[in-house]
Structure 1
Amino acid sequence: MKRSAYFLLMIALISAGRQVTAQENVSFGPIVGVNFSRLTNHPIYNDWKVGNSAGIFINYSGESRLGVNGQLLYSRIGGESGNGASKGHLDYIQIPIMGTYYLNGRGNALRPKLMAGPYVGFLVKAVNESNVNINPEGAARAYKGVDAGAALGAGLNYSIKNKVWLNADLRYNIGLTNVMANASDVHNRSWGLNVGVSFPLGNYSPSTGKFR
């Protein structure tokens, strides 16, 4: 699944690159983050809890201020009971693909940015961590295998050296699908603070369809 998702990410970025006529920059790198999440309308886990995420990302940046950011993340979200006695952990392979608008042009060492786009998540594991009597073996059966929604965020890229950038963003994920198998109107909500470092993959030429 991970290889297929990575391949689809590359296809999406290259397809976007073919829409412009100038040399475009493509970079990739590792990313880590912390999540603050809850499950809306869940009978137990409707308060915020802390999780984490890690993975890889790819940046596409055009001559204009527009770009595309794609990520492949292993992300732990879920929720906590209001009294703190129980936590529900939902581990997803998440794939957000976000359009990016930079607030200044290329050539600046500090580039603030705004981002928005869809995401899809594939449930890997569901675990109840509890001080009360809740059956942990039933956790996985209680949740659906796929989540999808929209991601909105803002952040900045800072040039460390030539074509090597520190990437940071704060993102809000809005789950748009019901994630429980036997309940309705239960959705993921999460804030994510992410930091990564991108390295140049090369310059992409839409006229030749090649990197150089």
Structure 2
Amino acid sequence: MKKITLFLAAGLLLLAGQVGAQDLHLGLKAGATLGKIDGQDFKDGFNFGIHAGAFAEIGLGEKWGIQPEVLFNQTKTEVKQDINAGDVLNRATKGHLNYLSIPVLLNFKPAKILTLQAGPQFGILMNKDNSLVQNGKDAFKSGDFAIDLGAQLNLGGFKVYGRYNIGLADTKVSDVTDQSKWTNQQIQIGIGYVIL
């Protein structure tokens, strides 16, 4: 996965070098994350978290562009009270996972004020919450691969966005057992500002 991330970063740098300075913008963003881990061991429903980070907008013509981002992204979850936790989960019912998320979005502007976005997101787990999982090393994978879909309003230098991302079925965050199918889901709402 590190090689894929480095390859994407190198490709974006080469692409950024080929577009004019007027087609490259940098900014900061922050907002709310409504996230959940979908699986038989977890309560259904979204929990409040936060996200914050930086983004770049790389124009590829009048309507198209690429928007790579680096975000701190928090997912909170609750374990069902009535499950038999066994050796996998301890008796604590709440926990959170902090990810360094790297989405690479394809932007399409049907109008100057509106941008539609879609693309892959790779998440690197920064903590393993030992109050939720007894063996933090093995319970969650160190990475998560998801698909993002969303829209953004362009209000001068300000951006207002909403996004939904879902972990892909073949990249589950569970490393515990094949019977526990856990996938990450998030709804993100936030604001950004172009600083350069």
Q: TM-score range by the shorter chain?
A: 0.7 to 0.9
Amino acid at match of 1:170: G
Is 1:27 the equivalent of 2:25?
yes
Alignment match of 2:175 (pick from 170, 181, 189)? 181
Equivalent pairs, count: 180
**TM-score, structure 1 normalization:** 0.73
SS at 2:23 equivalent: strand
Residue in structure 2 matched with residue 55 of structure 1 by the alignment: 53
Distance verdict in 2 for CA 1:6–1:26, change over 3 Å:
farther
Q: Establish whether residue 169 from structure 1 lines up as the match of residue 161 from structure 2.
A: yes
Residue identity matched to 2:125: L
* TM-score relative to the length of structure 2: 0.78
Percent identity for Structure 1 against Structure 2: 26
Farther off after superposition, 74-83 or 87-96: 74-83
Letter in 2 for 1:101: F
Matches of 1:32 and 1:9, distance apart in 2: 23
Map 1:36-55 → 2, pairs under 5 A: 36-55=34-53
Residues 61-140 of structure 1 aligned to structure 2 (within 5 Å):
61-81=59-79, 86-105=93-112, 111-127=113-129, 137-140=134-137
The answer as to whether partners of 1:24 and 1:60 remain within 8 angstroms in 2 is: no
Task: Give secondary structure in 1 for the equivalent of 2:138.
Answer: helix
Match of 1:195 among 184, 191, 194: 191
C-alpha RMSD over aligned residues: 2.9
* Equivalent residue runs for 1:135-174 within 5 Å: 137-159=134-156, 165-174=157-166
The amino acid across from 1:188 in the alignment is N
Determine if contact 2:71/2:102 at 8 Å carries over to the other structure. Answer: yes
- Check whether the contact 1:127–1:140 (CA below 8 A) recurs between aligned residues: no
Gaps of 5+ in 2: 82-91
More strand by share: 1
